[in-house]
Structure 1
Amino acid sequence: MNTLRTTVGKLVSCFVIGAFVISCASPKDVVYFQDASNYETIVSDNSHTNTFKVDDVIGINVSTLDPAASIPFNLFSSAGGEGGYSQPRELDYIVDKNGEIDFPVLGAIKIVGLTPEETKELLKEKLQPYLKNPIINLRLRNFTVTVLGEVNQPGTYQVNGEQITVLEAIGLANDLGIKGRRDNVLVIRDFNGTKVYTRIDLTSKEALNSPEYYLTQNDVVYVEPNKSAVTQSTLDGRAGLTVSIASLIITTAVIILTRN
Protein backbone atom coordinates (compact mmCIF):
# COMPACT_ATOMS: atom_id res chain seq x y z
CA MET A 1 0.00 0.00 0.00
CA ASN A 2 2.87 2.38 0.77
CA THR A 3 4.29 1.63 -2.67
CA LEU A 4 0.97 2.61 -4.27
CA ARG A 5 0.89 5.86 -2.34
CA THR A 6 4.44 6.62 -3.41
CA THR A 7 3.65 5.91 -7.06
CA VAL A 8 0.60 8.17 -7.02
CA GLY A 9 2.58 10.93 -5.35
CA LYS A 10 5.34 10.71 -7.95
CA LEU A 11 2.79 10.77 -10.77
CA VAL A 12 1.13 13.93 -9.45
CA SER A 13 4.52 15.57 -8.88
CA CYS A 14 5.57 14.82 -12.45
CA PHE A 15 2.45 16.47 -13.85
CA VAL A 16 2.91 19.57 -11.69
CA ILE A 17 6.61 19.91 -12.53
CA GLY A 18 5.97 19.30 -16.23
CA ALA A 19 3.30 21.98 -16.38
CA PHE A 20 5.59 24.43 -14.59
CA VAL A 21 8.54 23.77 -16.91
CA ILE A 22 6.40 24.21 -20.02
CA SER A 23 4.79 27.44 -18.81
CA CYS A 24 7.86 29.20 -17.44
CA ALA A 25 9.82 31.73 -19.49
CA SER A 26 13.19 33.37 -19.01
CA PRO A 27 13.44 37.17 -18.70
CA LYS A 28 15.83 37.03 -21.66
CA ASP A 29 12.94 35.82 -23.78
CA VAL A 30 10.51 38.63 -23.00
CA VAL A 31 12.46 41.82 -22.17
CA TYR A 32 12.98 44.44 -24.89
CA PHE A 33 16.33 46.23 -25.35
CA GLN A 34 18.14 44.19 -22.72
CA ASP A 35 21.55 45.72 -23.47
CA ALA A 36 20.42 49.32 -22.93
CA SER A 37 21.94 50.80 -19.74
CA ASN A 38 20.26 53.18 -17.34
CA TYR A 39 20.42 56.82 -18.51
CA GLU A 40 22.22 55.73 -21.66
CA THR A 41 21.92 58.22 -24.51
CA ILE A 42 21.72 56.72 -27.96
CA VAL A 43 22.16 59.02 -30.94
CA SER A 44 20.76 57.33 -34.01
CA ASP A 45 20.92 58.59 -37.57
CA ASN A 46 18.38 56.00 -38.64
CA SER A 47 15.63 57.74 -40.58
CA HIS A 48 13.16 56.76 -43.22
CA THR A 49 10.88 58.41 -45.74
CA ASN A 50 8.38 56.25 -47.57
CA THR A 51 8.46 56.11 -51.34
CA PHE A 52 5.55 55.31 -53.58
CA LYS A 53 4.99 51.77 -54.81
CA VAL A 54 2.88 50.11 -57.48
CA ASP A 55 -0.80 49.91 -56.42
CA ASP A 56 -0.49 52.79 -53.96
CA VAL A 57 -3.56 55.00 -53.69
CA ILE A 58 -2.64 58.67 -53.43
CA GLY A 59 -4.93 61.61 -52.75
CA ILE A 60 -3.82 64.78 -54.56
CA ASN A 61 -5.34 68.27 -54.52
CA VAL A 62 -4.05 71.26 -56.48
CA SER A 63 -4.89 74.80 -55.37
CA THR A 64 -3.92 78.33 -56.33
CA LEU A 65 -4.93 81.89 -55.47
CA ASP A 66 -7.17 81.74 -58.53
CA PRO A 67 -9.66 78.90 -57.90
CA ALA A 68 -10.83 78.90 -61.51
CA ALA A 69 -7.34 78.17 -62.79
CA SER A 70 -7.01 74.94 -60.83
CA ILE A 71 -10.37 73.50 -61.91
CA PRO A 72 -8.94 71.26 -64.68
CA PHE A 73 -6.51 69.64 -62.22
CA ASN A 74 -8.99 68.60 -59.52
CA LEU A 75 -12.09 66.56 -58.89
CA PHE A 76 -14.93 68.70 -57.52
CA SER A 77 -18.03 68.18 -55.49
CA SER A 78 -21.38 69.16 -56.98
CA ALA A 79 -22.07 71.89 -54.43
CA GLY A 80 -21.01 75.37 -55.42
CA GLY A 81 -18.63 77.35 -53.24
CA GLU A 82 -17.81 81.02 -52.99
CA GLY A 83 -17.98 82.83 -56.31
CA GLY A 84 -19.96 79.98 -57.84
CA TYR A 85 -16.99 77.59 -57.95
CA SER A 86 -17.31 74.00 -56.83
CA GLN A 87 -15.43 72.89 -53.75
CA PRO A 88 -12.31 70.84 -54.64
CA ARG A 89 -11.49 67.60 -52.89
CA GLU A 90 -8.59 65.24 -53.18
CA LEU A 91 -8.69 63.04 -56.25
CA ASP A 92 -7.46 59.48 -55.73
CA TYR A 93 -4.79 58.24 -58.09
CA ILE A 94 -3.60 54.64 -58.31
CA VAL A 95 0.03 53.97 -59.19
CA ASP A 96 -0.21 51.54 -62.11
CA LYS A 97 2.08 48.65 -62.99
CA ASN A 98 4.33 51.07 -64.88
CA GLY A 99 4.74 53.19 -61.76
CA GLU A 100 2.68 56.03 -63.20
CA ILE A 101 -0.42 58.02 -62.33
CA ASP A 102 -2.74 59.48 -64.96
CA PHE A 103 -2.97 63.14 -64.02
CA PRO A 104 -5.54 65.53 -65.59
CA VAL A 105 -4.12 67.59 -68.47
CA LEU A 106 -0.55 66.46 -67.69
CA GLY A 107 -1.11 62.82 -68.60
CA ALA A 108 1.06 59.95 -67.32
CA ILE A 109 3.54 60.92 -64.61
CA LYS A 110 5.97 58.36 -63.19
CA ILE A 111 6.20 58.63 -59.41
CA VAL A 112 7.15 55.12 -58.29
CA GLY A 113 10.20 55.31 -56.03
CA LEU A 114 9.64 59.00 -55.27
CA THR A 115 8.98 60.37 -51.80
CA PRO A 116 5.91 62.57 -51.18
CA GLU A 117 8.07 65.71 -51.20
CA GLU A 118 9.76 64.70 -54.45
CA THR A 119 6.35 64.05 -55.99
CA LYS A 120 5.10 67.47 -54.94
CA GLU A 121 8.12 69.15 -56.52
CA LEU A 122 7.66 67.15 -59.73
CA LEU A 123 3.99 68.14 -59.97
CA LYS A 124 4.78 71.80 -59.29
CA GLU A 125 7.37 71.76 -62.06
CA LYS A 126 4.92 70.23 -64.55
CA LEU A 127 2.14 72.63 -63.54
CA GLN A 128 4.24 75.78 -63.91
CA PRO A 129 3.14 76.40 -67.54
CA TYR A 130 -0.50 76.33 -66.41
CA LEU A 131 -0.59 77.67 -62.86
CA LYS A 132 1.20 80.34 -60.87
CA ASN A 133 2.67 79.11 -57.58
CA PRO A 134 0.49 75.97 -57.28
CA ILE A 135 0.05 74.38 -53.87
CA ILE A 136 0.04 70.57 -53.83
CA ASN A 137 -1.64 68.64 -51.01
CA LEU A 138 -0.77 64.98 -51.16
CA ARG A 139 -1.58 62.01 -48.94
CA LEU A 140 -1.01 58.26 -49.14
CA ARG A 141 -4.41 56.68 -48.55
CA ASN A 142 -3.53 52.98 -48.34
CA PHE A 143 -0.81 53.13 -45.69
CA THR A 144 -1.52 49.99 -43.70
CA VAL A 145 0.62 47.50 -41.79
CA THR A 146 -0.31 43.95 -40.83
CA VAL A 147 0.84 42.35 -37.57
CA LEU A 148 0.47 38.57 -37.26
CA GLY A 149 1.61 35.68 -35.08
CA GLU A 150 2.17 35.72 -31.33
CA VAL A 151 0.62 39.11 -30.61
CA ASN A 152 -2.41 39.88 -28.48
CA GLN A 153 -4.48 41.45 -31.24
CA PRO A 154 -3.33 40.45 -34.74
CA GLY A 155 -4.75 42.34 -37.69
CA THR A 156 -4.26 44.99 -40.36
CA TYR A 157 -3.99 48.57 -39.11
CA GLN A 158 -4.41 51.91 -40.89
CA VAL A 159 -1.57 54.37 -40.38
CA ASN A 160 -2.72 57.97 -40.10
CA GLY A 161 0.67 59.67 -40.28
CA GLU A 162 3.52 59.43 -42.77
CA GLN A 163 5.61 56.88 -40.89
CA ILE A 164 5.39 54.16 -38.26
CA THR A 165 7.99 52.11 -36.41
CA VAL A 166 7.86 48.37 -35.80
CA LEU A 167 7.34 49.09 -32.09
CA GLU A 168 4.36 51.31 -32.83
CA ALA A 169 2.89 48.62 -35.07
CA ILE A 170 3.30 46.05 -32.29
CA GLY A 171 1.66 48.56 -29.95
CA LEU A 172 -1.36 48.70 -32.27
CA ALA A 173 -1.54 44.92 -31.94
CA ASN A 174 -1.57 45.27 -28.13
CA ASP A 175 2.02 44.02 -27.72
CA LEU A 176 3.56 40.59 -28.16
CA GLY A 177 2.20 37.65 -26.22
CA ILE A 178 4.40 36.08 -23.57
CA LYS A 179 5.20 33.26 -26.00
CA GLY A 180 6.26 35.49 -28.89
CA ARG A 181 9.94 35.65 -29.88
CA ARG A 182 11.26 39.16 -29.42
CA ASP A 183 14.69 38.33 -30.84
CA ASN A 184 13.56 37.21 -34.30
CA VAL A 185 10.67 39.37 -35.52
CA LEU A 186 10.12 38.95 -39.26
CA VAL A 187 9.32 41.94 -41.49
CA ILE A 188 7.99 41.10 -44.96
CA ARG A 189 8.30 43.99 -47.38
CA ASP A 190 7.05 44.26 -50.95
CA PHE A 191 9.05 46.20 -53.54
CA ASN A 192 6.74 46.36 -56.53
CA GLY A 193 6.14 42.62 -56.62
CA THR A 194 9.42 41.47 -55.07
CA LYS A 195 9.11 40.19 -51.50
CA VAL A 196 12.00 40.88 -49.11
CA TYR A 197 12.21 39.01 -45.79
CA THR A 198 14.27 40.56 -42.98
CA ARG A 199 14.45 39.87 -39.26
CA ILE A 200 14.90 42.28 -36.38
CA ASP A 201 16.02 41.59 -32.80
CA LEU A 202 13.91 43.65 -30.40
CA THR A 203 15.86 42.42 -27.37
CA SER A 204 18.81 44.55 -28.51
CA LYS A 205 19.09 48.33 -28.69
CA GLU A 206 20.62 47.87 -32.15
CA ALA A 207 17.08 47.31 -33.39
CA LEU A 208 16.73 51.10 -33.43
CA ASN A 209 19.30 51.24 -36.23
CA SER A 210 17.74 48.48 -38.29
CA PRO A 211 16.45 49.44 -41.77
CA GLU A 212 13.25 47.63 -40.80
CA TYR A 213 12.70 49.71 -37.66
CA TYR A 214 10.64 52.11 -39.79
CA LEU A 215 7.93 50.27 -41.68
CA THR A 216 6.67 51.06 -45.16
CA GLN A 217 3.13 50.80 -46.52
CA ASN A 218 1.71 47.27 -46.60
CA ASP A 219 4.56 45.75 -44.58
CA VAL A 220 3.75 42.55 -42.73
CA VAL A 221 5.21 41.97 -39.25
CA TYR A 222 5.22 38.34 -38.13
CA VAL A 223 6.08 37.27 -34.58
CA GLU A 224 6.94 33.60 -34.41
CA PRO A 225 6.24 31.47 -31.30
CA ASN A 226 9.05 30.59 -28.92
CA LYS A 227 10.10 27.05 -28.01
CA SER A 228 7.65 26.92 -25.13
CA ALA A 229 4.72 27.64 -27.45
CA VAL A 230 5.92 25.09 -30.01
CA THR A 231 6.35 22.45 -27.31
CA GLN A 232 2.92 23.17 -25.89
CA SER A 233 1.37 22.97 -29.35
CA THR A 234 2.95 19.56 -29.85
CA LEU A 235 1.74 18.37 -26.49
CA ASP A 236 -1.77 19.68 -27.06
CA GLY A 237 -2.30 17.06 -29.73
CA ARG A 238 -1.72 14.35 -27.14
CA ALA A 239 -3.19 16.18 -24.19
CA GLY A 240 -6.66 14.69 -24.36
CA LEU A 241 -5.44 11.08 -24.20
CA THR A 242 -2.72 11.81 -21.65
CA VAL A 243 -5.03 13.66 -19.28
CA SER A 244 -7.69 10.97 -19.57
CA ILE A 245 -5.22 8.20 -18.74
CA ALA A 246 -3.68 10.17 -15.87
CA SER A 247 -7.10 11.02 -14.50
CA LEU A 248 -8.16 7.38 -14.64
CA ILE A 249 -5.00 6.21 -12.88
CA ILE A 250 -5.24 8.83 -10.14
CA THR A 251 -8.98 8.27 -9.61
CA THR A 252 -8.51 4.51 -9.39
CA ALA A 253 -5.64 4.91 -6.95
CA VAL A 254 -7.66 7.29 -4.76
CA ILE A 255 -10.59 4.83 -4.66
CA ILE A 256 -8.26 1.99 -3.65
CA LEU A 257 -6.59 4.07 -0.94
CA THR A 258 -9.99 5.23 0.40
CA ARG A 259 -11.33 1.68 0.65
CA ASN A 260 -8.26 0.55 2.49
Structure 2
Amino acid sequence: MQRWTIYNCLFWLIFLTSCGSGRNLVYFSDLKSASANASHIVNEVEPKIMKNDLLGVVVTTTSAESNLLFAANTTTISASGMYEREGFRVDKNGDIKFPVVGNIKLEGLSISEAQKVLERAVDRFVKNPIVTVKYMNFRVTVIGEVNHPATFTVSNEKISILEALGMAGDMTPYGKRENVLIIRENDGQRTTTRVNLNQKDVLNSPYFYLRQNDVIYVEPDKAKAVEYSRSTRSLPVLVAVISGAAVLATALLNRL
Protein backbone atom coordinates (compact mmCIF):
# COMPACT_ATOMS: atom_id res chain seq x y z
CA MET A 1 0.00 0.00 0.00
CA GLN A 2 2.82 2.39 0.80
CA ARG A 3 4.56 1.50 -2.46
CA TRP A 4 1.38 2.30 -4.42
CA THR A 5 1.04 5.63 -2.63
CA ILE A 6 4.59 6.65 -3.60
CA TYR A 7 4.10 5.75 -7.26
CA ASN A 8 0.70 7.42 -7.31
CA CYS A 9 2.13 10.70 -6.01
CA LEU A 10 4.96 10.54 -8.53
CA PHE A 11 2.55 9.91 -11.40
CA TRP A 12 0.31 12.86 -10.54
CA LEU A 13 3.30 15.18 -10.07
CA ILE A 14 4.61 14.42 -13.56
CA PHE A 15 1.12 14.55 -15.08
CA LEU A 16 0.22 17.93 -13.62
CA THR A 17 3.52 19.56 -14.52
CA SER A 18 3.32 18.33 -18.11
CA CYS A 19 -0.24 19.53 -18.73
CA GLY A 20 -0.80 22.73 -20.66
CA SER A 21 -3.70 24.38 -22.40
CA GLY A 22 -3.97 23.67 -26.11
CA ARG A 23 -3.49 26.50 -28.61
CA ASN A 24 -5.07 26.94 -32.01
CA LEU A 25 -2.12 27.19 -34.40
CA VAL A 26 -4.24 27.39 -37.56
CA TYR A 27 -4.69 30.72 -39.33
CA PHE A 28 -8.31 31.47 -40.29
CA SER A 29 -9.48 28.26 -38.67
CA ASP A 30 -13.10 29.37 -39.01
CA LEU A 31 -12.92 29.12 -42.81
CA LYS A 32 -14.79 26.11 -44.14
CA SER A 33 -12.21 23.86 -45.77
CA ALA A 34 -14.73 22.18 -48.07
CA SER A 35 -15.90 25.33 -49.82
CA ALA A 36 -14.39 28.14 -51.86
CA ASN A 37 -14.55 31.70 -50.52
CA ALA A 38 -14.52 34.91 -52.54
CA SER A 39 -15.05 38.51 -51.48
CA HIS A 40 -14.25 42.00 -52.70
CA ILE A 41 -11.14 43.63 -51.27
CA VAL A 42 -12.44 46.64 -49.36
CA ASN A 43 -9.52 47.38 -47.04
CA GLU A 44 -6.72 47.97 -49.53
CA VAL A 45 -5.68 51.57 -49.05
CA GLU A 46 -2.75 53.20 -50.82
CA PRO A 47 -0.29 54.49 -48.20
CA LYS A 48 -0.08 58.25 -47.74
CA ILE A 49 3.14 60.20 -47.51
CA MET A 50 3.91 61.28 -43.96
CA LYS A 51 6.37 63.61 -42.25
CA ASN A 52 9.89 62.20 -42.05
CA ASP A 53 9.33 59.85 -45.00
CA LEU A 54 12.30 59.48 -47.31
CA LEU A 55 11.30 59.57 -50.97
CA GLY A 56 13.24 58.56 -54.01
CA VAL A 57 12.38 60.86 -56.94
CA VAL A 58 13.58 60.33 -60.50
CA VAL A 59 12.81 62.83 -63.26
CA THR A 60 13.14 61.56 -66.82
CA THR A 61 13.16 63.97 -69.77
CA THR A 62 14.59 64.05 -73.26
CA SER A 63 17.61 65.94 -71.92
CA ALA A 64 20.30 64.19 -69.88
CA GLU A 65 21.31 67.55 -68.39
CA SER A 66 17.77 68.17 -67.18
CA ASN A 67 17.64 64.71 -65.60
CA LEU A 68 20.72 65.53 -63.53
CA LEU A 69 19.38 68.98 -62.72
CA PHE A 70 16.41 67.54 -60.85
CA ALA A 71 18.31 64.76 -59.11
CA ALA A 72 19.22 64.77 -55.46
CA ASN A 73 22.54 66.57 -55.13
CA THR A 74 23.87 64.79 -52.05
CA THR A 75 25.20 61.28 -51.57
CA THR A 76 25.43 58.87 -48.70
CA ILE A 77 27.41 55.70 -48.12
CA SER A 78 25.30 52.55 -47.95
CA ALA A 79 25.93 49.60 -45.64
CA SER A 80 27.87 47.88 -48.44
CA GLY A 81 30.24 50.86 -48.71
CA MET A 82 28.85 52.06 -52.05
CA TYR A 83 27.99 55.70 -52.76
CA GLU A 84 24.32 56.21 -53.49
CA ARG A 85 22.04 59.22 -53.94
CA GLU A 86 20.10 60.35 -50.93
CA GLY A 87 16.36 60.71 -51.22
CA PHE A 88 14.18 63.68 -50.39
CA ARG A 89 13.11 63.91 -46.77
CA VAL A 90 9.57 65.13 -45.99
CA ASP A 91 10.10 67.86 -43.40
CA LYS A 92 7.95 68.86 -40.42
CA ASN A 93 5.81 71.03 -42.70
CA GLY A 94 5.09 68.12 -45.03
CA ASP A 95 7.31 69.51 -47.81
CA ILE A 96 10.31 68.30 -49.75
CA LYS A 97 12.97 70.67 -51.05
CA PHE A 98 13.15 69.82 -54.73
CA PRO A 99 15.97 71.13 -56.95
CA VAL A 100 15.10 74.16 -59.10
CA VAL A 101 11.43 74.01 -58.08
CA GLY A 102 11.81 74.64 -54.34
CA ASN A 103 9.45 73.45 -51.60
CA ILE A 104 6.65 71.12 -52.68
CA LYS A 105 4.03 69.85 -50.25
CA LEU A 106 3.58 66.08 -50.54
CA GLU A 107 2.31 65.08 -47.10
CA GLY A 108 -1.03 63.29 -47.24
CA LEU A 109 -0.65 62.31 -50.89
CA SER A 110 -0.33 58.84 -52.31
CA ILE A 111 2.65 57.97 -54.46
CA SER A 112 0.64 58.33 -57.67
CA GLU A 113 -0.71 61.71 -56.53
CA ALA A 114 2.79 62.90 -55.61
CA GLN A 115 4.06 61.96 -59.04
CA LYS A 116 1.38 64.10 -60.72
CA VAL A 117 2.14 67.07 -58.44
CA LEU A 118 5.85 66.85 -59.22
CA GLU A 119 5.24 66.43 -62.94
CA ARG A 120 3.20 69.65 -63.01
CA ALA A 121 5.89 71.48 -61.04
CA VAL A 122 8.76 70.30 -63.23
CA ASP A 123 6.77 70.92 -66.43
CA ARG A 124 7.29 74.65 -65.90
CA PHE A 125 11.00 74.14 -66.63
CA VAL A 126 11.12 71.16 -69.03
CA LYS A 127 8.44 69.77 -71.30
CA ASN A 128 6.70 66.43 -70.78
CA PRO A 129 8.68 65.14 -67.80
CA ILE A 130 8.08 61.70 -66.39
CA VAL A 131 8.42 61.56 -62.60
CA THR A 132 8.80 58.36 -60.61
CA VAL A 133 8.40 58.45 -56.84
CA LYS A 134 8.98 55.63 -54.37
CA TYR A 135 9.42 55.21 -50.66
CA MET A 136 12.98 54.64 -49.50
CA ASN A 137 12.06 53.98 -45.88
CA PHE A 138 8.86 51.93 -46.08
CA ARG A 139 9.63 49.61 -43.17
CA VAL A 140 7.70 47.30 -40.88
CA THR A 141 8.98 45.71 -37.69
CA VAL A 142 7.99 42.25 -36.42
CA ILE A 143 8.98 41.29 -32.87
CA GLY A 144 7.94 38.87 -30.16
CA GLU A 145 7.18 35.20 -30.68
CA VAL A 146 8.44 34.89 -34.25
CA ASN A 147 11.41 32.91 -35.51
CA HIS A 148 13.33 35.85 -36.98
CA PRO A 149 12.31 39.19 -35.41
CA ALA A 150 13.61 42.12 -37.41
CA THR A 151 12.81 45.34 -39.25
CA PHE A 152 12.10 44.80 -42.95
CA THR A 153 12.30 47.31 -45.78
CA VAL A 154 9.48 46.87 -48.30
CA SER A 155 10.16 47.77 -51.91
CA ASN A 156 6.64 47.83 -53.35
CA GLU A 157 4.85 49.86 -50.64
CA LYS A 158 2.30 47.10 -50.14
CA ILE A 159 2.51 44.36 -47.56
CA SER A 160 -0.03 42.44 -45.51
CA ILE A 161 0.38 41.24 -41.96
CA LEU A 162 0.73 37.68 -43.26
CA GLU A 163 3.58 38.66 -45.58
CA ALA A 164 5.34 40.46 -42.72
CA LEU A 165 5.03 37.41 -40.49
CA GLY A 166 6.33 35.27 -43.36
CA MET A 167 9.44 37.44 -43.67
CA ALA A 168 9.95 37.01 -39.92
CA GLY A 169 9.87 33.23 -40.27
CA ASP A 170 6.27 32.91 -38.99
CA MET A 171 5.20 32.64 -35.37
CA THR A 172 6.60 30.08 -32.98
CA PRO A 173 4.14 27.59 -31.44
CA TYR A 174 4.05 29.90 -28.40
CA GLY A 175 2.76 32.90 -30.40
CA LYS A 176 -0.79 34.00 -29.60
CA ARG A 177 -2.35 34.07 -33.05
CA GLU A 178 -5.62 35.25 -31.57
CA ASN A 179 -4.11 38.40 -30.04
CA VAL A 180 -1.54 40.03 -32.34
CA LEU A 181 -0.75 43.65 -31.50
CA ILE A 182 -0.20 46.25 -34.24
CA ILE A 183 1.29 49.63 -33.33
CA ARG A 184 0.77 52.41 -35.89
CA GLU A 185 1.78 56.07 -36.00
CA ASN A 186 -0.20 58.41 -38.20
CA ASP A 187 -0.65 62.17 -38.26
CA GLY A 188 1.05 62.68 -34.92
CA GLN A 189 -0.91 59.95 -33.15
CA ARG A 190 0.06 56.46 -32.06
CA THR A 191 -2.66 53.83 -32.17
CA THR A 192 -2.66 50.22 -31.02
CA THR A 193 -5.02 47.46 -32.03
CA ARG A 194 -5.19 43.69 -31.69
CA VAL A 195 -6.20 41.29 -34.45
CA ASN A 196 -7.22 37.64 -34.32
CA LEU A 197 -5.50 35.62 -37.03
CA ASN A 198 -7.57 32.56 -36.15
CA GLN A 199 -10.59 34.27 -37.68
CA LYS A 200 -11.23 35.10 -41.32
CA ASP A 201 -12.67 38.54 -40.44
CA VAL A 202 -9.13 39.89 -40.15
CA LEU A 203 -8.91 39.74 -43.96
CA ASN A 204 -11.23 42.76 -44.08
CA SER A 205 -9.56 44.63 -41.22
CA PRO A 206 -7.99 48.05 -41.98
CA TYR A 207 -4.90 46.65 -40.28
CA PHE A 208 -4.55 43.64 -42.58
CA TYR A 209 -2.51 45.77 -44.99
CA LEU A 210 0.33 47.47 -43.16
CA ARG A 211 1.58 51.03 -43.44
CA GLN A 212 5.09 52.37 -43.21
CA ASN A 213 6.70 52.05 -39.77
CA ASP A 214 4.03 49.69 -38.42
CA VAL A 215 5.19 47.44 -35.58
CA ILE A 216 3.78 43.92 -35.13
CA TYR A 217 4.17 42.36 -31.70
CA VAL A 218 3.34 38.68 -31.22
CA GLU A 219 2.63 38.02 -27.57
CA PRO A 220 3.80 34.71 -26.01
CA ASP A 221 1.27 32.50 -24.29
CA LYS A 222 1.41 31.50 -20.63
CA ALA A 223 3.08 28.18 -21.45
CA LYS A 224 6.19 30.09 -22.57
CA ALA A 225 6.36 31.96 -19.26
CA VAL A 226 5.94 28.72 -17.33
CA GLU A 227 8.63 27.00 -19.37
CA TYR A 228 11.17 29.73 -18.70
CA SER A 229 10.27 30.33 -15.05
CA ARG A 230 12.81 29.44 -12.40
CA SER A 231 10.56 26.82 -10.82
CA THR A 232 10.06 25.05 -14.16
CA ARG A 233 13.76 25.00 -14.92
CA SER A 234 14.36 23.25 -11.62
CA LEU A 235 11.50 20.80 -12.18
CA PRO A 236 13.63 18.06 -13.87
CA VAL A 237 15.96 18.06 -10.85
CA LEU A 238 12.96 17.81 -8.52
CA VAL A 239 11.46 14.93 -10.49
CA ALA A 240 14.81 13.13 -10.51
CA VAL A 241 15.13 13.52 -6.74
CA ILE A 242 11.60 12.25 -6.16
CA SER A 243 12.18 9.34 -8.52
CA GLY A 244 15.36 8.41 -6.71
CA ALA A 245 13.59 8.65 -3.37
CA ALA A 246 10.79 6.44 -4.68
CA VAL A 247 13.24 3.79 -5.86
CA LEU A 248 15.08 3.90 -2.53
CA ALA A 249 11.81 3.68 -0.59
CA THR A 250 10.70 0.71 -2.71
CA ALA A 251 13.98 -1.08 -2.04
CA LEU A 252 13.64 -0.50 1.71
CA LEU A 253 10.05 -1.72 1.69
CA ASN A 254 11.06 -4.91 -0.10
CA ARG A 255 13.51 -5.69 2.68
CA LEU A 256 10.83 -5.40 5.35
Q: TM-score, normalised by structure 2?
A: 0.86
> How many angstroms does 1:42 deviate by?
2.2
| 2:130 aligned residue | 135
| 1:58 aligned residue | 55
Confirm whether residue 39 of structure 1 aligns to residue 35 of structure 2: yes
| 2:18 aligned residue | 20
Structure 1 stretch 68-77 or stretch 190-199: which is displaced more? 68-77
Matches of 2:46 and 2:233, distance apart in 1? 52
The answer to whether the 8 A contact 2:10-2:242 is kept is no
| 1:185 aligned residue | 180
Q: Which runs of 5+ in 1 are unaligned?
A: 78-88
RMSD, matched Cα:
2.3
| 1:68 aligned residue | 65
The answer to whether the 8 A contact 1:116-1:138 is kept is yes
User: What does the per-residue CA deviation read over 1:139-183, in whole Å, with 9 as the maximum and x for residues that have no partner?
Assistant: 211111111111122111121222000000011111111121111
| 1:253 aligned residue | 246
| 1:108 aligned residue | 103
Q: Which structure's residues are more often helix, by fraction?
A: 1
Following superposition, which runs of at least 4 residues in structure 1 exceed 6 angstroms of deviation? none
Task: Give 1:43's aligned amino acid.
Answer: S
Q: 1:147 to 1:240 in 2, by over 3 A?
A: closer
User: What does the per-residue CA deviation read over 1:183-211, in whole Å, with 9 as the maximum and x for residues that have no partner?
Assistant: 11111011144211011111111111000
Task: Give 1:56's aligned amino acid.
Answer: D
Matches of 1:67 and 1:242, distance apart in 2? 73
Matches of 2:92 and 2:190, distance apart in 1? 16
Q: Which runs of 5+ in 2 are unaligned?
A: 75-83
Task: Give 2:51's aligned amino acid.
Answer: V
Task: Give 1:254's aligned amino acid.
Answer: V
Matches of 2:238 and 2:201, distance apart in 1? 49
Matches of 1:240 and 1:20, distance apart in 2? 13
Matches of 2:72 and 2:142, distance apart in 1? 35
The answer to whether the 8 A contact 1:47-1:214 is kept is yes
Matches of 2:17 and 2:155, distance apart in 1? 44
Q: State percent identity of aligned pairs.
A: 34
Describe how 1:222-237 pairs up with structure 2 within 5 A: 222-233=217-228, 236-237=229-230
Matches of 2:73 and 2:92, distance apart in 1? 27
SS of alignment partner, residue 30 of structure 1? coil
Matches of 2:175 and 2:222, distance apart in 1? 9
User: What does the per-residue CA deviation read over 1:220-255, in whole Å, with 9 as the maximum and x for residues that have no partner?
Assistant: 00111224334445xx22235554444323212312
Q: 1:139 to 1:240 in 2, by over 3 A?
A: closer
Describe how 1:193-232 pairs up with structure 2 within 5 A: 193-232=188-227
Q: 1:214 to 1:107 in 2, by over 3 A?
A: same
Aligned residue pairs: how many? 243
Matches of 1:241 and 1:201, distance apart in 2? 34
Q: 1:212 to 1:148 in 2, by over 3 A?
A: same
